[in-house]
Amino acid sequence: EAQVTQNPRYLITVTGKKLTVTCSQNMNHEYMSWYRQDPGLGLRQIYYSMNVEVTDKGDVPEGYKVSRKEKRNFPLILESPSPNQTSLYFCASSLDFGGSGTYEQYFGPGTRLTVT
């Protein structure tokens, strides 16, 4: 089954304790991205990756890191989480992001993160 998976689905942690949220897709997609969703602010992109070893900042990258060492995986790293990073996080992938029209994004199930 074609899918985007994220782990963990729920996480409660404390300020400053490094954490990683994993994301994996099995569709051989080139483009992957991370979003956070907050009430009243909607979905905002954190980072995206056009392909292996190619990443770039989205709208709200502060406090986050990413890496793309393999095509299928795109982990999100919070090196020193703070309470303002409490949010619902989504990973997404698409075949590519070019003008060919294959932009259709597929989302993972979401990770609900609480930082106390």
Q: List residues binding another protein (CB under 8 A).
A: 42-45, 48, 50, 56, 58-59, 88, 90, 97, 99, 101, 103-107, 109-110, 112
Shortest Cβ 4–another protein spacing (Å): 10
How far is CA 50 from each of CA 2, 60, 65, rounded to the nearest angstrom?
A: 19, 17, 15
Shortest Cβ 16–another protein spacing (Å): 27
22 versus 107: smaller Cβ distance to another protein: 107
9 versus 17: smaller Cβ distance to another protein: 9
14 versus 41: smaller Cβ distance to another protein: 41
Q: Is the dihedral of CA 95, 97, 102, 108 positive or negative?
A: positive
**Cβ–Cβ contacts within 10 Å for residue 12, how many?**
11
Shortest Cβ 103–another protein spacing (Å): 4
3 versus 15: smaller Cβ distance to another protein: 3
Give the three-state DSSP class for 80. Answer: coil
Is residue 19 within 8 Å of 11, Cβ to Cβ? Answer: yes
**Cβ–Cβ contacts within 10 Å for residue 97, how many?**
17
Shortest Cβ 102–another protein spacing (Å): 9
